[in-house]
Chain A
């Protein structure tokens, strides 16, 4: 049994007096591919914030690669975990390749700036996500879906052992959804990257993620392979919809 790369023990967290996460235990081994599902407001995004050290839990402990998150610098977290947000805004015009290059910042010497290896990583990420056709474009002129792919490429360029995604497919058309999922599966299989994604599309989650974690009301209510975690009864109970509608 390998040591977990992400380890949450008895984590409680919230904003002010409002508790959002309640006694969450979650252990992720290196190289796993996990989908986080649950209704809106279940605490999925808060979990991502706790896991990356942006929100300090009121109880419990979060460890990344064996060390408590609270003891890690922002830089050491950024070298271990890349985060793909749903959207990001830019205050100034910036070319696609300039945005992707931001993924190298955690590795950059603050004084000397990027080295040839950094540029190679950016070029490789652009190639891998298939952004060649968007090079030279102002990222602010792209569609939401294209911007999401740019943010995905940024995370790939960051070359971390863990990639965390907040609804990576929400703005993508069906083909790009499948492409993005296959890209993540490829990263996971070939580089052994640990992938943790918040997913709303249960069908996509069941198809591409061997392990599904279900959240409801700030608690972890199921954790296992899709056929167990996303049983029809649980879908009816947690999401309050007819399972025929989402999985058929």
Chain B
């Protein structure tokens, strides 16, 4: 882990090492970790599958190679159960980390996460209503719960944006406070829904803590398309996030149309968040912690932070889900909190200046 605390006397002229080689190295390490997490995630579980068999199944399914000595049962475990689950965890981790970086940069607030503007409470209320409604529909394996969680998240943030809109600059604090207020209101609705839910309480509760137990290829496909459709344009807007480092007025002076970029980035970040929570439930800490860890390593440049956060968010979520599975299907949100919170505290103590509001 990098400390950013060289002595003041260091007079090396603008360090090229810092600007290039470390991010590249971290990127390579991250991609390697991603492959390891994939193989481990597919291989480990109640039925152990060797890496060779894992690769055998992948080779057979993807490239039509002969699957020597792989039983149909192993094939089904790898291809139908574990692979979509691991990949879904990676897509959601990527999405939450990118959205977290976006919201922190946009709101200029280190405590922001993808859920801060009401998306979480909106999604939760939507999911709870879906559980209470005695209708079961599914289109392409997406059920009412996925649909209402997705819609609830987007509706909540749209409402926050409309209510907070002052038109001018300096609206970020307004957005945060409005998000908090509306979030509290929605949380009251959620509490009522839970109170009324009776035996369905466990299902609502499961959603609130997050899980990848329902992963399937179809759900993975849906999440993948939406998360990438939101994340890719965010990555192309790194310049706007960088300009916002010094504040909204300074960003205008650096050539950014702040109103337009704020609207665009909010919409994209919300899309990514809504798609993530719709398939996995509310998984905390990944969107908060991963951007900070990456920033501590490579500095605040969004051009570096966004792609690295994407990779490490995917790694962290895949590992967290693996741990959750190995511990007997405990909620993955519990694992991310247990990993994330102490790690975050550790990082805060290591940085000299800390994070001021």
Contacts and interface: CB of A to CB of B under 8 A. Distances in A.
Interface of A: 52, 54, 73-79, 81-83, 85, 88-95, 97-99, 102-103, 105-106, 108, 110-111, 113, 119, 122-123, 126, 132-138, 140-141, 158
A91 B14 contact: no
The dominant DSSP class at the A interface is mixed
B255 A88 contact: no
Nearest to B108: A91
Interface string B27-38: 000000000000
A132 B11 contact: yes
B246 A113 contact: no
9 contacts: A77-B255, A78-B255, A83-B253, A89-B246, A92-B300, A103-B254, A105-B239, A123-B14, A136-B10
Contacts of B249: 54, 85
A247 B356 CA distance: 41
A115 to B, nearest CB: 12
B163 interface: no
B246 A97 contact: no
A102 B109 contact: no
A154 to B, nearest CB: 8
Contacts of B110: 91-92
Contact of A141 (B12, B257, B353): B353
A102 B254 contact: yes
A16 B213 CA distance: 56
A110 B237 contact: yes
B8 A137 contact: yes
Interface in B256-271: 256-257
B254 A93 contact: no
A91 B8 contact: no
A110 B237 CA distance: 7
Most buried by A among B18, B108, B252: B252
A94 B237 contact: no
A67 to B, nearest CB: 16
Contacts of B6: 136
B71 to A, nearest CB: 48
Nearest to A142: B8
B254 A105 contact: yes
A79 B254 CA distance: 8
B254 A122 contact: no
A186 to B, nearest CB: 21
> A98, A103, A122: which has the most chain B beta carbons within 10 Å?
A98
Contacts of B296: 93
A88 B243 CA distance: 12
Contacts of A82: 253
Given A110-B239, A122-B14, A140-B356, A52 B254 contact: no
Given A99-B246, A135-B12, A138-B352, 9 more contacts: A77-B255, A82-B253, A92-B355, A102-B243, A110-B237, A110-B239, A119-B19, A134-B8, A138-B353
A19 to B, nearest CB: 18
